Amino acid sequence: MFEIEIVDDGIVSVDGRLDAAQAVKAQNFLDQVEGQCVLDMAKLAYVSSAGLGVLLKTHKRLMASGSGIKLINVNNHIHDIFRYSGFDKLFEIVPASD
Amino acid sequence: MEQKFKRSFNELKNIVTMTESMFQEEGLEPNLRNVVDLATEELFVNMVTYNTESKEDILIQMLPHEHGIEVSLTDYNVERFDPRSAGSVDVGAPLDERTPGGLGLYLVLKMVDSIHYEYRNRQSKITFIVDRE
């Protein structure tokens, strides 16, 4: 299961598992986003390299116009994957509070 | 526990179901799940993506291993590809130079405790172990 939507305050919320089977759905959604994008990962349980590729492509596109993606509520496991992949140096990341 | 899967990304949810069952039946440490899921997906996706000439299903086997799990993926009628020889990824490169290529296998090699490769009679078998720290 994977869901992506814009919630009330303009934040993009992702929920479930962002794997290779769901990467196209995520990319199609994020291709429509313009300007600064805040991605709430509080409900994201899992991400693979296919999901990282979606985030990288979108971040590059938005950075080209002076904005980018900010990731909030990132859990420990996903934060580990960002660190291993060096993405923690490319994205602004706010870890989950617990 | 073992199961065959069709060469489709749509099988990922069924692989997750198999892994869930394995963890429940063997009482494995839940903290190992994400690494097992990640390594299994990346290796499966790599087989589906690059071994395009084979029509055979991919076999996944899971066994308890000391305090963790041993997972094997076997692909049939394929060329040799040892994931341990995958090119390195410059994870310190700036954004402009970053591409997602190779990142999946890089993460697998970084996150599992050990990985082995066997190639015999055009069968390619990758086995990895994830154990409790």
B9-60 residue pLDDT tens: 999 999 999 999 999 999 999 999 999 999 999 999 999 999 888 899 999 9
Q: Cβ A56–B100 below 8 Å, yes or no?
A: yes
How distant is the Cα of A11 from the closest Cα of chain B, in angstroms? 23
Q: Cβ B34–A46 below 8 Å, yes or no?
A: yes
d(CA A19, CA B20) in angstroms, rounded, equals: 16
| DSSP annotation string for B52-116 | TT--SPEEEEEEEETTEEEEEEEEES-----GGGPPP--TTS-GGG--STTHHHHHHHHHSSEEE
Q: How many domains is chain B partitioned into structurally?
A: 1
Residue ranges per structural domain of chain A: 2-95
Is B86 in CB contact (< 8 Å) with chain A? no
Q: Cβ A48–B38 below 8 Å, yes or no?
A: yes
- Residue among B10, B11, B20, B34 with most chain A CBs within 10 A, to mutate: B34
How distant is the Cα of A38 from the closest Cα of chain B, in angstroms? 18
Q: Where residue B85 sits, what CATH number does that domain have?
A: 3.30.565.10
What crossing angle do the helices spanning A76-85 and B103-111 adopt, rounded to 10°? 120
| Residues of chain B with C-beta less than 8 angstroms from the C-beta of A63 | 95
A64-83 residue pLDDT tens: 999 999 999 999 999 999 99
Per DSSP, the three-state class of A63 is: helix
More confidently predicted of B101 and B59: B59
Q: Cβ B107–A49 below 8 Å, yes or no?
A: yes
pLDDT of residue B133: 63
B81-100 residue pLDDT tens: 999 988 788 888 888 888 88
- What pTM does this model have? 0.94
Chain B's closest residue to A80, CA to CA, is B111
Chain A's closest residue to B32, CA to CA, is A77
Chain B's closest residue to A87, CA to CA, is B91
Query: For the residues B59-80, what does the mean pLDDT come to?
Result: 95
Chain A's closest residue to B109, CA to CA, is A84
Domain that holds residue B101: 2-130
- Would you say A12 and A39 are in contact if contact means Cβ atoms under 8 Å apart? yes
**Fold of the domain spanning A2-95:** Transcription Regulator spoIIAA (3.30.750)
- Tokens standing for residue A33: 């986003």
Q: Cβ A49–B103 below 8 Å, yes or no?
A: yes
